[in-house]
Amino acid sequence: MGELPVYDSGADVVVEERWHDLLWTAVPHRIIYSTPELLIGWVPAGTLSMYATNRGLPETVGLTRDQRKLLALKSLHARASEFAETPSKLSILRPDRWCRINLGFDPHDGHFLGWYVDFQIPVQPTPEGLVTKDLVLDLWINPDYSWNWKDEADYETAISQGLVDASTRPHLQREAERVLAELGRSKAPFTEEFAGFRPNPEWPVPALPVSHAWNGSSWAIPAGWRAETTAH
């Protein structure tokens, strides 16, 4: 079994996604808890992150958001643009797991919105933090523990177009079964303790290092716009 790097509480760590070795997303996380078996990061609303997006490019006219995302993955034609995160998120990462679990919180009153399960390649360490690769498929879990799949059709399209390797399918099936078993047993992070999380209001907003921020040296794709919108 692998282990995660251990970080100091309060440190800022970058969680990257890379696509064909290109930096594709960079989100700074404030470390709340860190052991070799578990990392809990805080991403409050308003945190400035970077995402590859093709929104506004000529070839995306008339496409839906999901169609645009798949086209960007296929063509690698995108711009590295800055976005303000929302809602606030508590991010749960564990070694050798094929998912990241995010708990969402309303940015205005802090009430719990639910769990969002991002299926992804298991994280690996980088000099600035951690790197993974999103696998398109997601799972949404409501506060009452009801749940539904998200982006199933996009996942199948990504496989049919060769964007995601079909060999990921059994990994994601086992991971989904494991997550839903944890949910059924009310095992962390599917507990009142996690859902009732409240950040210290004095914590500063996490920030990206210069290399990963807008127009930074880690970006091989061209710079896009600065943040004023959260859609990507």
Q: Is residue 73 assigned to a domain? A: yes
Q: Residue 182 belongs to what domain range? A: 12-195
Q: Is residue 39 assigned to a domain? A: yes
Q: Is residue 218 assigned to a domain? A: no
Q: What is the CATH number of the domain that holds 26?
A: 2.40.380.10
Structure confidence by residue, pLDDT tens digits, 49-90: 999 999 999 999 999 998 999 999 999 999 999 999 999 999
Q: Is residue 154 assigned to a domain? A: yes
Q: Is residue 70 assigned to a domain? A: yes
Structure confidence by residue, pLDDT tens digits, 156-174: 999 999 999 999 999 999 9
pLDDT at 132 over 80: yes
Q: Is residue 112 assigned to a domain? A: yes
Q: Is residue 217 assigned to a domain? A: no
Which of the four pLDDT bands, split at 50, 70 and 90, describes residue 1? low
The reported pLDDT for the residue numbered 182 is 97
The count of structural domains within the chain is: 1
Structure confidence by residue, pLDDT tens digits, 106-131: 999 999 999 999 999 999 999 989 99
Structure confidence by residue, pLDDT tens digits, 213-229: 999 999 999 999 998 75
> Rounded to two decimals, what is the model's pTM?
0.94
Q: Is residue 136 assigned to a domain? A: yes
Concatenated DSSP letters of the chain: --------TT-EEEEEEEETTEEEEEEEEEEEEEETTEEEEEE-TT-EEEEEE-TTSGGGTT--HHHHHHHHHHH---EEEEEE--SEEEEEE-TT-SEEEEEEE-TTT--EEEEEEEEEPPPEE-SSEEEE-EEEEEEEE-TTS-EEEESHHHHHHHHHTTSS-TTHHHHHHHHHHHHHHHHHTT-TTSSHHHHT----TTPPPP---TTTSTT-TT--SPB-PPSS----
